[in-house]
Amino acid sequence: MINNRQLKYYILLLVFVCMSSMQAQNKKQQELEERRQELLQEIQQFTKLVSKGKKEQRSALTAAEDLDYKVSVRQNLIKLTNQQANLLTREINDNQNRITQLRDKLKVLKEEYGAMIVKSYKSKSEQSKVMFLLASNDFQQAYRRLQYIKQFADYQKKQSEIIKNQTLELQDLNKSLVMLKEGKKQLINDNRVAKVELDRELKEQKTLINSIKRNLNAYHAQIRDKQREAEKIDKEILKIIREARVSSNKKAGKSSSSKTFSLTPEDKALADNFTANKGKLPWPVEEGVVKMRYGNHPSPIDRNVTIKSNGVRIATSSSASVRSVFEGTVNSIIVPKNGNITVMIQHGNYFTIYKNLSKINVKKGDKVRTKQKIGEVLTSKSSGETILSFLVFKGLETQNPAHWVFKM
């Protein structure tokens, strides 16, 4: 039989292992739930932004892009919810195992406590205690026997408290188990609803793409036109950054052919501060969702066609204000023939680019603060979309804005 010292050790070890496992699982569950709520909010926000636009103005290409975005987010939501449900299943199984182990330990405790009570009852009379003390050979032995009687009584009390606490813990575990099962049930229901919505969107997407494919060449031409327009602006941006680099090197008395920026102490401090805020920068618009992310993406119409994105495309509300994501200086304002204005703000050897503006509130050379309004986003007359293209450069190298902007 397990002695009391071993039993206490096993109980403490079990509690420690369970607590560590629970904390890790709870943290993971909390992270998944936070991300799930973000995805739900993203879908709701995008739906609201799309509904604000004039539906009759939305081209088939824009509608296909919107559906592609919603399907992608919805699939991520379902995948993440499945992860949550699987994690809850593990928690439920762990909880059930802990309940079984705790019941077994509690059974042993109660049996030993019962045996101890019986033994105590047989010698409970004061006369027995007195006789036990009087039978001592000397005073020291009597003292030790008196201490034993006291310790035995204290031990009984402690064992009683342990049983009481273990019983309460068992009750809490049972309550927690019920809550976990209810939580899993809710997640499964949520996923069932999401899958129904996903199936509807996929069906709508298939119908739309089939109608578009009847005139695929025209839509390919639209995509190529958009790509060429973006590339033209990007070339102009690179040219301006090269000129800024040459200018900085001339001021520092260095070769104009140098591939790095020679920054003044003030500009270096600004660049260092910009770097230190990586992942913490505010969004360039107060309300919006990232419709297209950084990198190469297959076209929603034809997966064989690749769309290159040097930044992110943020869908936002009509006439949304554009904000500088960090303090700096307005390096350039590009106004192409189509009127979609681009503002470039320099932060040492970093540049943030704000494309597709209809109005501007700054001019070249202006010092701007973080979150200062620099203009408004243009709403396309042909598509009905209000899209801000946002880019980040370090020198001539493009950066993923999602790595710089908070929770992008």
pLDDT in tens, 151-161: 666 666 676 67
Mean of the pLDDT values across residues 60-71?
77
Reference 152, options 132, 172, 137, 167; nearest CA is 132
pLDDT at 385 exceeding the cut of 50: yes
Shared-domain flag, residues 267 and 184: no
Question: How many whole angstroms separate alpha carbon 302 and alpha carbon 288?
Answer: 26
**Domain membership flag for residue 248:** no
Question: How many whole angstroms separate alpha carbon 145 and alpha carbon 157?
Answer: 19
Shared-domain flag, residues 207 and 269: no
Question: How many whole angstroms separate alpha carbon 18 and alpha carbon 30?
Answer: 18
Reference 120, options 161, 141, 148, 162; nearest CA is 148
- Considering only the C-alpha atoms of the chain, give the largest distance between any 2 of them, rounded to a whole number of Å: 114
**Domain membership flag for residue 235:** no
**Is the overall model pTM greater than 0.85, yes or no?**
no
Q: What is the pLDDT of residue 87?
A: 79
Reference 396, options 262, 260, 281; nearest CA is 260
Shared-domain flag, residues 139 and 33: yes
Domain end (from 180, 213, 246): 213
- The b/e string for 298-309 (b: 16+ C-beta within 10 A; e otherwise) is ebbbeeebebeb
Q: Which domain covers residue 208, as residue numbers?
A: 4-213
**Encoded amino acid at 243, one letter:** E
Shared-domain flag, residues 209 and 280: no
Is 354 in contact with 285 (CB distance < 8 Å)?
no
Provide the CATH number for the domain around residue 346: 2.70.70.10
Shared-domain flag, residues 70 and 194: yes
Q: Which residues, 6+ apart, have CB-to-CB distance to 376 below 8 Å?
A: 319, 320, 321, 322, 357, 358, 359
Q: What is the pLDDT of residue 36?
A: 76
Shared-domain flag, residues 201 and 328: no
CA 212 to chain centre: 36
Shared-domain flag, residues 208 and 293: no
Structural domains of the chain, count: 2
Q: Report residue 9's pLDDT band, with 50, 70 and 90 as the boundaries.
A: low
Domain end (from 194, 213, 232): 213
Shared-domain flag, residues 206 and 274: no
Residue 261 parent element (H or E): none
Is 266 in contact with 367 (CB distance < 8 Å)?
no
**Domain membership flag for residue 232:** no
Shared-domain flag, residues 209 and 275: no
Q: How many residues does the chain have?
A: 408
Shared-domain flag, residues 290 and 182: no
**Domain membership flag for residue 134:** yes
Mean of the pLDDT values across residues 144-148?
65
pLDDT at 329 exceeding the cut of 90: yes
Question: How many whole angstroms separate alpha carbon 126 and alpha carbon 128?
Answer: 5
Share of the chain above pLDDT 70, in %: 74
* pLDDT tens digits, 95-140: 777 767 767 776 766 666 566 556 655 555 444 555 555 566 676 7
Burial category of 341 from C-beta neighbours within 10 Å (exposed 0-12, middle 13-18, buried 19 and up): buried
Phi and psi, residue 385, nearest 5°: -90, 150
**Domain membership flag for residue 155:** yes
Mean of the pLDDT values across residues 63-81?
82
